Homo-oligomer: A and B are copies of this chain.
Amino acid sequence: MIEQLEITLPKFNRGYHLITSLIEKQLPPLPEKGLLHILVKHTSAGITINENADPSVRTDFESFINKMIPEDDPVYIHTYEGSDDMPAHIKSSLFGAELTIPITNHRLNLGMWQGIYLCEFRNHGGRRKILATIIG
């Protein structure tokens, strides 16, 4: 059994956002066992698994990663889409644009402290599209 659907997220501010329940609400009934694959269909956003509890973790991701991959680095030549664009591409590849998550007993089977983050790397990224594929 393979099912596919596109999910359009609400607009998020630049930063890291917990979207686990937002994704779960949009999914059809899940198989007893299987895999969920999700792809964010953009090159300046990312998708990752991390801590679902304390929001300060998401704040620290934004502060630290902005220092590690700064805007206006003198080596950048791809600058015409704005200072936040080239760093957004680099972050997207390092965090990744796609994830696979196991399904057990008709539910996503993540660790107790794990959630799905949408990583919005642009200042004004707009509504991001996710393609979900369920194998069961």
Interface residues of A (CB under 8 A from B): 2-4, 33-35, 37, 39-43, 48-51, 54, 56-57, 59-61, 63-65, 67-69, 73, 75-78, 86, 89-90, 92-102, 104, 109-114, 117, 129, 131, 133, 135-136
Contacts and interface: CB of A to CB of B under 8 A. Distances in A.
Given A4-B104, A33-B2, A49-B97, A60 B39 contact: no
Contacts of A90: 60-61, 64-65
Given A4-B33, A50-B92, A65-B90, 10 more contacts: A40-B111, A42-B114, A43-B114, A49-B92, A59-B77, A60-B77, A60-B90, A64-B90, A93-B95, A98-B100
